[in-house]
Structure 1
Amino acid sequence: MSAIGTLDPVRGGGEATPALFRPLSAEDEEQLPAEIESLCMACHSNGVTRLLLTRIPFFKEIIVSSFACSRCGSTNSEIQSAGRIQDQGVCYMLTVRSKQDMNREVVKTDCATARVPELDFEIPAFSQKGVLTTIEGLIERAIEGLKQDQPFRRETHPDVAEKIEEFICKLKRLKDVDSAFTFILDDPSGNSFVENPHAPQRDEALVVTHYRRTAQQAALLGIEAEESKEDLTDSVDDLRNEVLQFGTNCPECNAPASTNMKLVQIPHFKEVIIMATNCDACGHRTNEVKSGGAIEPLGTKITLHVTDPSDMTRDILKVAKNPFTLGDSSTSDRAEKLCAFGRKLQQVVDGQLRIHFVLDDPAGNSYLQNVYAPEEDPEMRVEHYERRFEQNEELGLNDMKTEGYEAEGSSQR
């Protein structure tokens, strides 16, 4: 193995460290491959493998390897991506119209699939090693592969050999570009590439699409499949259909108790969390409803004009008894006022008195049922407003900082 200067990570004498991956260029005299003595798998003698670490413009770094055996003449070459598997797969679709298009540089990894739909021609994934070539080179390689067993086919299956020969002629005509055709390169690893000679400008003949890998594609690449949106939806649906239970302490007697929690979707509103705690020791029970989301950017004020007894089927709090105002310690004047207020509420319930019910929530997370949903309720008005400083203070928002940490940390460094 010979030591090559361009691959050395460190040089002495105060010289600048050269780049490990250099742009592929014929004028770069220092860009020489590293040579490694390797075993020839054909004759089992020693051959030479040459490795070249290079960077393709507007793409990424790759490793080009080439093996040659001087004894038996066996050769082999392939490319490997020097980076990781990308977050998304990539599909290149090129309309080939001229000889210049046939000379476009192509990086095809071993897991990529190349297709020409007009001929129903496909180079399947993992049928070839990765290669750095051109579109013409890919087609020529396919032609050579089909020719390889033709003598044997002519002896054993002449009809099959004839059909393959006809298909080879069609592939050769593709090289002459007698008519336009479509070249598709689909790589779930995201590491294949088709050259855009107009880069960084857009190429009208080339369409590049990035996509999310399927579970089958991820398995072929030997990686764990990402959780799809469908899987996430199923997980949320399972959560909605399940009552969660966790241990806590009773707020009255501090004995161990259990709290049940369930996620519920209110139609035409949002998700809320219903929590209920039961204590077997003292019998204490509590329940509450919490918003399933964050505090809204705006407060909400809902005004309902109660005109019909059916409006009373909407959520409302009705006061019936209060031991501090109707018990022995209450005054007659206070009790009479509360009774009068109770009679008015009963008149509202019976539909004898029309009122306006106002629900004002600075957090924007309260709700009043719209019986006409999804249409607007003619008797209900929903207003959104900017919170006052005092309201933000009560919600603890004035001292809450959620932005600028990265910039602040950079300035401190």
Structure 2
Amino acid sequence: MSFISEENVRGGGSVFRDINAEDEDWQPTEIESLCMNCYQNGTTRMLLTKIPFFKEIIVSSFSCANCGWSNTEIQSAGRIQDQGVCYSLKVKTKQDLNREIVKADSATTRIPELDFEIPPFTQKGSLSTIEGLLDRAVAGLEQDQPGRRAADPVVADRIQEFIQKLKKLKDLENEFTLLIEDPSGNSFVENPLAPQKDEALTVTRFKRTVEQDKQLGLRADDDEDLDEDPAGEDLETMRQEVLVFPTNCPECNSPASTNMKLVQIPHFKEVVIMATNCDNCGHRTNEVKSGGATEQLGTKITLHITDPSDMSRDLLKSETCAVLIPELEFELGMAALGGKFTTMEGLLKDIKDLTVSKNPFICGDSSTTDRVEKLSEFGEKIDKIIAGEMSVHVILDDPAGNSYMQNVYAPDPDPEMTVEKYTRTFEQNEELGLNDMKTENYQEEN
């Protein structure tokens, strides 16, 4: 049954709209559905809207007039990200328990110290805090305790003992680790120190396995083969052509088109530039991916910004590149802004938009005075750097070696820029998926 009516898609064709109390026409869709408590007919109300973190969501609420049973549910309607994400947080203080988290239904939650795990797709997506996540886990275990005590008192006692351990975590007698691994990339853990780096929080991106793709519906259940490169492609022809393929707008979810082209950057290498333009809402995005292999050595590029002319320097930030500004104690992890081919001014403006303008934690109930003041002060410092009123060092640290910054003195050395090649650590190779990759000494089978 389709619940997207013609009224829902009016006004530009987008079915996801911001909640507006003054919009009397924007009402939830009501569907008659079966009550799973008394098996009589109840009513489900659905609303397609947008909120921070989840972007597009489907809010549904069920109520039964016969038995009075009701429940609510949130489902993410946003797109699945290109990579999965894993958050590792050391919970040490009471403030850590108040961190806001978004846990998608595809996420796996673990607490290694208790050998505790919530498997994916066993709970619906939720927007909560760490304390709320623990309370939800306790409530789920306590729900069937009366039945367990009647059927198997020994098992019930063991589960009750484990419930007490979960409750003691909120007392923080000992610190514990919270792991949230989400192959869809749509989960999130708050960094209260933003835009500074959070030493207690580690965020890593990873490539999904074939099994995870199947769980997310991105690959058929009987598909065991890896994607193969199309045979007979003429690379020279591809360099001259702009390839176009259909996609959905990341803002309004309306049909859009993405343009892709191979581009050779002078004194560097070949890259793939992708640009999306939505005719419905006007949203535009661009992304750059490396067209070559991972380099043998990582690259760290340090630029000392001393003049406003430095803002016009071209740079390529790959999706594996981190950005650091030591004077501001700022670090932007890899994949946060994706791959970009832009200028220094464009990169700084994107950093400001990500940490200040588009930061959902400074809006509504999530905001605090200290947090808003801190982020506003950071935004003012970025503006001073762009205006040439503040001298800082900007570091592009790319363990894959696929990032680049223009040398305006080429072919002579740039006195304000240093390029350092370094050997990757085991952890960096693990993040890039290189430790288990073997490409040497293969023999073709007859």
Q: TM-score range by the shorter chain?
A: 0.3 to 0.5
Q: TM-score, normalised by structure 1?
A: 0.46
State the structure with more CA Rg: 1
Q: TM-score, normalised by structure 2?
A: 0.43
Where relative contact order (Cα < 8 A, 6+ residues apart) is larger, the structure is 2
